[in-house]
Amino acid sequence: MVCFDRITSDPAVMNGQPCLRGMRLTVRRVLEALATYPDRKEFAAEYPALDEEDIRQALGYVTTT
C-alpha cells in the first residue's frame, strides 16, 4: 500500500479537496502548475514551499484514485 502522508483532506480547507500538507494548495492545482511549468526550476520559483516529495506524492495520489 502506498503512503500519502503529505496529502491531507479537511472539510474546513478548500472544501475537503486533497491538499498538500494542510496548505491551501490542492493536488489538482499542483498538477495544473506542473503542466504550466514543465521546467522544474520555474515551478520551484513559483511554488517555493513545495519540494520533490510533495510533487511525487501529488502525482502518485492522482494515479491511485
Domain assignments of the chain as residue spans, ordered by start? 7-64
| Mean pLDDT across 34-47 | 92
Q: Are 9 and 18 in contact (CB under 8 A)?
A: yes
HSE-up (13 A, CA, CB side) for residue 12: 1
- 48 pLDDT higher than 90: yes
The whole model's pTM is what? Answer: 0.89
Band (pLDDT 50/70/90 cuts) for residue 1 is: low
The pLDDT assigned to 2 comes to: 78
| Mean pLDDT across 39-53 | 93
Identify the residue with better confidence: 1 or 52.
Answer: 52
Protein fold of 7-64 = Arc Repressor Mutant, subunit A (1.10.10)
